Amino acid sequence: MIFPESRKENTNEEIGGRVVADPYRWLEDAGQPEVRQWIAQQNEYADLQLRDPRQKAFAEELVKDFEVTTFSNPLYVNGRYFYMERRPGEDQMALYVRYGLEGEPIKLIDPNGRKEGNTVSLDYWVPHHEGNLIAYGLSEGGDEMATLRVFDVQRKTDLPDEIVRCRHSSICWLPDGSGFFYTRNPRPGTVPQNEEHLHVKVYLHELGSDPGSDELIFGEGRPKDDMISLSLSLDGQYLTIDVSRTWTENEVYLYDADKKTTKPLVAGIPAQFSPRFLADKVLMFTNYHANNYRILSAPLEEIYKPIEQWKEFVPEKEHVLSFVDVTKDKILLGYLVNACARVIVLDHDNKETGTIPLPEYASMEGVTGMETESEFSYGVESFAFPWISYRYDTVADAYSVYRKTESPIDPDQYETTQEWFVSKDGTKVPMFIFHKKGLTLGAVPTILYAYGGFGSNQEPSFMRNWIPWVAHGGIFAVANIRGGGEFGEKWHLDGIKDKKQNSFDDFIAAAEYLIAQKYTDREHLGILGGSNGGLLVSAVEVQRPDLFKAACARVPLTDMVRFPKFGMALRWVHEYGDPSDPADLARILMWSPYHNVKNGTEYPAMLFMVGDRDSRVDPLHARKMAAMLQSTNKKNPVFVHTEIDAGHGAGKPISKVVDAQSLILAFFGNELELL
């Protein structure tokens, strides 16, 4: 196997008393001409090998599956229904409004056509409770660093207000609509280079005023890796500022808009807290003394009393409480039962009023409602059927289908099972297995997927990207490994830092189970993951090259010694460990993929997929890892494909989604011998 040339240097660095080799450090700086040339050569090599008749056929199938109208749940606001929609032939979702259920759709904000390639995306939008104004953010090229604007719904035009550097801004409108609280990133040049995605602060913007003079509410002198979200009491007096620097605990501060003072509400407690305002009380969704989470409450007039004195509103139960949503009249409690959704409904006095019916092996996504409205909607999907939007009818006190996704895919042709396997240390772990009905098992081409990090839950979701795989006789499996949050905070903590190897062991055990149960064999098994899951795949490939035939890592981390030095990755040391700490470094070096490739070992076929404008995980990780694997593999291919004007995945136009996915399908199809 002849790969594009990658110069290998004798670069070594002493860190914490250890000498760490880094032969491909020169590939870190994508601005260097030599690195740009390397990227182009690797793309050319990948295209030459992967853009074959199989890839073209997969692309055609994907186009057919994506050529449907996709939409979000409707958000009811003062007689209006706001929703997102992407129609056939469009790359990006646009924002629409209907006046009443039967009203004609009116397009309000459309990112399509704003730039060649349709790389502008609508990242977020937040309406005022009267429905006449919308704060929204547009970003370009997948960088997610949105510019915040304000749209006048009646006049169908933007107001002059324009605020740059508002990445996934948390926004709370003032009750009278005169302005809003929001979060903003720093301007370039005001912070050290490579820290522009950190240093988030809270501001108050008054409509029509110069954003440069916006009042700073919170953030001065704070740690640069703060992650902040906001919520506002219905009367506008109390702004809660949820601040976290880890994925295991946070602090909550309370800004009194009348007194213009900020005090800590919850601080110094090793747990997670998330406030929700009702008209007369505040709820606190927390795992404080509750692995599976519970809800505490306090009257608004007693909001400052110590958290230990708050009353228990909903006690911890057998299953994980995964979300809490509040409307004018109801509280929705979402539980995870073996990674599948169950929803209980309460009134504001804590009386259970019923449940929301959900099918087997399904997830409930995007509960959409306002604290000022009784009506709400939600979405349901599973592996085989696409998004169905339901609406709560306040008059009938019932749930009914609002809209179904039209799809050429017939869910009756497929089946899903959930099976349990035993990991290395004896822990039982569940896995969803999805394939066509009546499939003859044995040596079936199989893709195993997992994420396993940051307490993220992997619930059943529609497999539009992978339907061509299972339609042609393949299997797709999803393992709920440790590091996720499917079974509470302990499940998360058992897969991070000094226990990170548990995530890898769980994934390895899932692969071994699929082989032992005769679903597949080593020659027909591939593994897949993205972001933290890309780290998972890269680590497992290095640890067990004998176990599977091919691997695809999308936007992965691989160099776990230098990861905190790039972009927002400093925020992740609490998940992986801090390589500047000698004890953490010793543990990290035991599993960091880039540092465990052994010269002379033949590793499975590998495909790295990255975006050149990824502001979450720098594509340097994939470049360095690909070069390292190419230096030792003699037979199995190693590809790294870099998408231009693309990022971590958010906001990617459908044309790019289809192209990238067809390459991945072709790669797995060729390596695993899918018919």
For residue 649, is it within any domain?
A: yes
d(CA 545, CA 533): 17
Share of the chain above pLDDT 90, in %: 92
In terms of domains, do 186 and 245 share one?
A: yes
Number of domains in the chain: 3
546-567 pLDDT, tens per residue?
Answer: 999 999 999 999 999 999 999 8
In terms of domains, do 236 and 223 share one?
A: yes
Structure-block tokens of residue 374: 């009784």
Residue owning tokens 């953490």: 584
Q: Tell me if 151 sits within 8 A of 108, measured CB to CB.
A: yes
d(CA 581, CA 564): 12
| Other CB atoms within 10 A of residue 20 CB | 18
The catalytic position among 121, 244, 423, 531 is: 531
d(CA 596, CA 20): 11
In terms of domains, do 188 and 334 share one?
A: no
Q: Most confidently modeled of 9-18, 538-547, 614-623?
A: 538-547
In terms of domains, do 310 and 331 share one?
A: no
d(CA 506, CA 309): 40
Q: What is the CA radius of gyration of the chain?
A: 25
What is the DSSP secondary-structure string of 581-630? SHHHHHHHHHH-GGG-PPTT--PPEEEEEEETT-SSS-THHHHHHHHHHH
For residue 350, is it within any domain?
A: yes
In terms of domains, do 293 and 235 share one?
A: yes
What integer pLDDT is reported at residue 648 of this predicted model? Answer: 75
In terms of domains, do 147 and 106 share one?
A: yes
In terms of domains, do 443 and 341 share one?
A: no
pTM: 0.94
CA atoms 591, 596, 597, 603: torsion sign: negative
pLDDT of residue 484 exceeding 90, the answer is yes
> What does each C-alpha distance from 272 to 245, 249, 516 come to in angstroms?
11, 4, 39
What integer pLDDT is reported at residue 567 of this predicted model? Answer: 84
Q: Domain boundary at 374, 408, 442, which?
A: 408
pLDDT of residue 55 exceeding 90, the answer is yes
For residue 12, is it within any domain?
A: no
425-475 pLDDT, tens per residue?
Answer: 999 999 999 999 999 999 999 999 999 999 999 999 999 999 999 999 999
For residue 304, is it within any domain?
A: yes
In terms of domains, do 389 and 269 share one?
A: no
Q: Domain boundary at 364, 390, 408, which?
A: 408
In terms of domains, do 499 and 553 share one?
A: yes
d(CA 514, CA 672): 15
In terms of domains, do 155 and 289 share one?
A: yes
In terms of domains, do 522 and 613 share one?
A: yes
612-636 pLDDT, tens per residue?
Answer: 988 889 999 999 999 999 999 999 9
- The CATH code of the domain that includes 268 is 2.130.10.120
Per the annotation, the verdict on 648 as an active-site residue is yes
Grade residue 23 by pLDDT with cuts at 50, 70 and 90: very high
Q: Domain boundary at 275, 294, 317, which?
A: 317
614/251: higher pLDDT = 251
d(CA 494, CA 291): 12
For residue 27, is it within any domain?
A: no
Grade residue 17 by pLDDT with cuts at 50, 70 and 90: confident
In terms of domains, do 365 and 490 share one?
A: no
d(CA 491, CA 507): 14
For residue 463, is it within any domain?
A: yes
For residue 494, is it within any domain?
A: yes
d(CA 56, CA 552): 19
pLDDT of residue 143 exceeding 90, the answer is no
- The CATH code of the domain that includes 480 is 3.40.50.1820
**SS3 of 372, please?**
coil
- Structural domain range at position 181: 72-317
pLDDT of residue 649 exceeding 90, the answer is no
For residue 180, is it within any domain?
A: yes
The catalytic position among 128, 641, 648, 662 is: 648
